Amino acid sequence: MNIEEYGGGQEPEPDVLVVTTNEVSGHRVEKVIGEVFGLTVRSRYLGSQIGAGLKSMIGGELKGLTKTLVQTRNQAMERLVEQARARGANAVLAFRFDVTEAADAGTEVCAYGTAVVLVRE
């Protein structure tokens, strides 16, 4: 299994830190900028649907769909970071993903959190 195909997250020492926590050890929030989000909608394609249907009969991981979801989540997170950076933030706190079906056309993935300016204490 290749980590790039089945995982995500930030590179070490990013210019905009994204964390799921409400605070960062050794830092204080100097300014709250507000909510930011990154959104993408991916349609399903026939090949993955057929493969998923066959795989569901015998069981096991749907690797093609897993890769697609990883790519989708990473794209949503990249868009969130772009929004935070554009608004002057150096961090996003309380980061979350929300995944829903979008009008039977595909999957909507929204990455969201609170953009802030952190300073080291």
pTM for the model: 0.82
> Which of 42, 98, 114, 49 has the alpha carbon at shortest distance from 71?
42
Residue 18 contacts residue 91 (beta carbons within 8 Å) = yes
User: Which residues have C-beta within 8 Å of that of residue 46, sequence separation ≥ 6?
Assistant: none
Q: Is the pLDDT of residue 110 over 80?
A: yes
pLDDT single digits (tens) 19-39: 999 999 999 999 999 999 999
- How many residues are given for the chain? 121
Protein fold of 3-120: Translation Initiation Factor IF3 (3.30.110)
Question: For the chain, what are the domain ranges?
Answer: 3-120
Closest-CA residue to 114 (of 33, 52, 56):
33
Residue 44: which pLDDT band, with cuts at 50, 70 and 90?
low
- Average pLDDT on 82-110 reads 92
Q: Which residue has the tokens 């994204």?
A: 18
